[in-house]
Amino acid sequence: MNNNRDEIAELLREILKWIRFSSIGEVRTVLMSILDTEQKRTIYHLSNGERGSVEIGKHAGVSHATVTRYWDSWRRLSIVEPVRVRGGLRYRKLFELEDFGFSISTVEQDKVMKDE
């Protein structure tokens, strides 16, 4: 039984690898279209499921309501996923921007690194 599970798991990993490879261009196009400002890219980049909307808003210079509006929009586009926390929901990005050729400003990177 274990051998069969191992074979199935390996097959699923192989399928996932090819699905990711074949869709990378489409994902890049969607991200470029949706994350069309530095502010949106910063908010998306910081959305790791651990930070709340207030904290991300402070880093990005926007209100927490703006962050939650983006999260809701991005959830409908399937580029973030919800994470349940004691106070409600947070969202986790599904893609690393650097993997798609985006650069996050060094100022934002420095602020994030200091806070972590």
The band of 20, judged by pLDDT with boundaries at 50, 70 and 90, is confident
Contact between 87 and 103 (Cβ < 8 Å):
no
User: Can you give the CATH number for the domain in which 111 is found?
Assistant: 1.10.10.10
Q: What is the pLDDT of residues 38-89, one digit of tens each?
A: 999 999 999 999 999 999 999 999 999 999 999 999 999 999 999 999 888 9
| Start-to-end C-alpha separation, the chain | 44
Amino acid at 76: R
Please give the tally of structural domains in the chain: 1
Contact between 70 and 43 (Cβ < 8 Å):
yes
Domain span including residue 91 = 2-115
Q: What is the pLDDT of residues 92-103, one digit of tens each?
A: 999 999 988 888
